[in-house]
Structure 1
Amino acid sequence: MTTPYWVAGRPATGTEPLEVRSPWDGARAGRTTLATPADVEAAVAAAAAARPACAALPAAARAAALDAVSRQLAERAEEVAALITAESGKPLKWARLEVTRAVSTFRWGAEEARRWSGTLQRLDTDPAATGRLALVRRAPRGPVLGIAPFNFPLNLVAHKVAPAIAAGAPIVLKPAPATPLSALLLGELLAGTDLPAGAWSVLPTTNEVAAGLVGDPRLPVVSFTGSVPVGWSIRESAPRKHVTLELGGNAAVVVGPDQGDEKSLGWAASRIATFAMYQGGQSCISVQRVYAHRDVAGALTERVVAAVRVLGTGDPADPATDVGPLVDEQAARRVESWVDEAVAAGATVLTGGTRDGATYAPTVLTGVPSTARVSCEEVFGPVVVLEAVDSLDEAFARVNDSRFGLQAGVFTRDLQVAFRAAQVLDVGGVVIGDVPSFRADQVPYGGVKDSGTGREGVRAAMEDLTEERVLVLTGIDL
Structure 2
Amino acid sequence: MTTTHEFWLAGRRASGEAEFEVRHPHDGSLVAKVSVPTDAQVEEAVAAAAAAVPVFAATPAHQRAAALDHVAKRLAERTEEIARLITAENGKPIKWARGEVGRAVSVFRWAAEEARRTNGETMRLDTDPGGTGRYAIVRRFPRGAVLGIAPFNFPLNLVAHKVAPAIAVGAPIILKPAPATPVSALVLGEILAETDLPAGSWSVLPVENAKMPALVQDKRLPVISFTGSDKVGYQIMDSVPRKHVTLELGGNAAAVVLADWSSEADLDWAAGRIALFANYQGGQSCISVQRVIADASVYDRLVEKVVAKVRAQVTGDPSDEATDVGPLVDENAAKRVESWVEDAVAKGAKVLTGGSRDGAAYAPTVLAELPADAILATAEVFGPVLSLHRVEGTEEAFAAVNDSAFGLQAGVFTHDVQTAFRAHRELEVGGVVIGDAPSYRADQMPYGGVKDSGVGREGVRYAMDDFTFEKVLVLTGLDL
Q: TM-score, normalization: structure 1?
A: 0.99
Map residues 61-460 of structure 1 onto 2, 5 A cutoff. 61-460=63-462
Identical aligned residues as a percent: 68
Residue among 33, 42, 45 paired with 1:43:
45
Structure 1, residues 325-380: CA drift from partner, whole Å, max 9, x if none?
11111111110111111111111111000001110000000100122111211000
CA distance in 1, matches of 2:284, 2:83: 17
Structure 1, residues 65-122: CA drift from partner, whole Å, max 9, x if none?
0000000000000000000000011110110110000000000000010111110011
CA distance in 2, matches of 1:432, 1:476: 51
Does 255-264 or 160-169 show the bigger shift?
255-264
Shift of 1:37: 1.1
CA distance in 2, matches of 1:135, 1:61: 23
State the secondary structure of the residue aligned to 1:327. Answer: coil
Shift of 1:441: 0.2
CA distance in 2, matches of 1:161, 1:29: 24
CA distance in 2, matches of 1:348, 1:228: 28
CA distance in 1, matches of 2:473, 2:257: 51
Does 175-184 or 338-347 show the bigger shift?
338-347
CA distance in 1, matches of 2:282, 2:207: 26
Structure 1, residues 288-311: CA drift from partner, whole Å, max 9, x if none?
001011111111111110001011
Residue among 2, 5, 19 paired with 1:3:
5
The one-letter code sitting in structure 2 at the alignment partner of 1:341 is: D
CA distance in 2, matches of 1:106, 1:476: 40
Runs of 4+ in 1 over 6 A off after TM superposition: none
CA distance in 2, matches of 1:340, 1:476: 73
CA distance in 2, matches of 1:51, 1:240: 19
Structure 1, residues 140-189: CA drift from partner, whole Å, max 9, x if none?
00000000000000000000000000011000000000000000000000
Shift of 1:41: 0.7
CA distance in 2, matches of 1:116, 1:210: 33
Please tell me whether the aligned partners of residues 280 and 325 of structure 1 are also in contact (alpha carbons under 8 angstroms).
yes
The one-letter code sitting in structure 1 at the alignment partner of 2:131 is: A
CA distance in 2, matches of 1:77, 1:246: 26
CA distance in 1, matches of 2:479, 2:363: 71
CA distance in 2, matches of 1:38, 1:192: 25
Unaligned runs of 5+ in 1: none
The one-letter code sitting in structure 2 at the alignment partner of 1:384 is: L
Shift of 1:270: 0.5
CA distance in 1, matches of 2:289, 2:375: 15
CA distance in 1, matches of 2:253, 2:466: 24
Structure 1, residues 399-440: CA drift from partner, whole Å, max 9, x if none?
000000000000111000000000000000001111111000
State the secondary structure of the residue aligned to 2:260. Answer: helix
State the secondary structure of the residue aligned to 2:4. Answer: coil
CA distance in 2, matches of 1:322, 1:39: 41
Report the aligned-residue RMSD.
0.6
Shift of 1:475: 1.5
The one-letter code sitting in structure 2 at the alignment partner of 1:168 is: G
State the secondary structure of the residue aligned to 2:167. Answer: helix
Shift of 1:3: 1.1
The one-letter code sitting in structure 2 at the alignment partner of 1:115 is: R
Residue among 56, 59, 64 paired with 1:57:
59
CA distance in 1, matches of 2:39, 2:322: 43
